[in-house]
Amino acid sequence: MSEQPKVVILGGGTGLSVLLRGLKKFPVDITAIVTVADDGGSSGRLRTELNIPPPGDIRNVLAALSDVEPLVEELFQHRFNKGNNLIGHSLGNLILAAMTNITGDFVHAIREMSTVLNVRGKVLPAANTSVVLNAEMEDGTIVSGESKIPFSGKKIKKVFLSPDDIEPLPETLEVIGEADLIIIGPGSLYTSILPNLLVPKIGEAVCQAKAKKVYICNVMTQAGETLNFSASDHVRALYTHMNEAFMDIILVNEEEIPDHIKSLYEEELAKPVHFDVDTLTSLGLDVITDNIVCYENSVIRHDTNKVAKLLYGILQQELT
């Protein structure tokens, strides 16, 4: 049997897991590189109390790539809503924390859980230790903590990680170098995507990789992160942080968002991202536009099957 083409995806949050559910249906070898900067909610509590990397984004990706009975996945994703110490915790987060404690290593714990959940692909944390995401605001103030940055009420100038001695897994650099396609996003620009690229050596490896790089732009802006951003503003922020224009293709939505959905998002100061195609083209990007959104209980999501099909089409073009 011929070897499957290798796809590497960098991200975090809901966007990454949504995309993976569609992509795993195609004959590709998937590696998901997942941020470990989360410090809120259940992940933040476990990170602080047990001194382990935050498991939440990893848990969502494992669930998305799993091939188990729906009830088993539901159990893994179950979030307790009762109990003084359990409330807010997801069972999957607790299992990953327990497995880390048993094996003594977060990466080993992820490998073991991947086997248990029959995961289709490979899940790697951006680092094998917790990292702190910091933001320098335009007024010069520094805000530390991924969960605090969007609520600072100030415009972000740049983000950076601490401590200074963060190391990626050698395996991560290897899979980036061997990739046939590298996908960045979808996800929060400053708090889900850049925390991966800012890990020393990972950003450089992505920029230097021979594979085409595809950026899946968010459909909506985010208050506290990308307020009033156009698609080209997203791209320029990535380029500024990497000191290099490294993207080849951008995938953007062309479907009009219904007014009743937009009005709901306006309450949180979010609006559809303006896809300035001419500016994107001037930045040297191939722009692919399509109707790629769906709606879950009035929440906008990327249509996992449509996006996955488009990405697989790009991959096939690259391999022919």
> Residue 1: what pLDDT?
41
Domain map (residue ranges) of the chain: 6-37+160-319, 38-125
Using DSSP's 3-state secondary structure scheme, residue 230 falls into strand
**CA-to-CA dists, residue 160 to 142, 156, 301, angstroms:** 10, 11, 28
| pLDDT tens-digit readout, 264-307 | 999 999 999 999 999 999 999 999 999 999 998 889 999 999 99
What pLDDT digit, counting tens, does each position of 180-229 carry? 999 999 999 999 999 999 999 999 999 999 999 999 999 999 999 999 99
- Contacts (Cβ under 8 Å, ≥6 apart) of 268: 223
Are 214 and 252 spatial neighbours (Cβ–Cβ below 8 Å)?
Answer: no
- Given a cut of 70, whether residue 2 has pLDDT beyond it is no
The pLDDT confidence band at residue 85, using thresholds 50, 70 and 90, is confident
Task: Write the pLDDT tens digit of every residue in 28-82.
Answer: 999 999 999 999 999 999 999 999 999 999 999 999 999 998 899 999 999 999 8
291 C-beta neighbours (distance < 10 Å), count: 11
Cβ–Cβ contacts within 10 Å for residue 145, how many?
A: 18
Which residue has better confidence, 84 or 221?
221
**The listed CATH number (1.10.630.10, 3.40.50.10680, 3.50.50.60, 3.10.450.50) that belongs to domain 6-37+160-319:** 3.40.50.10680
pLDDT of residue 130: 87
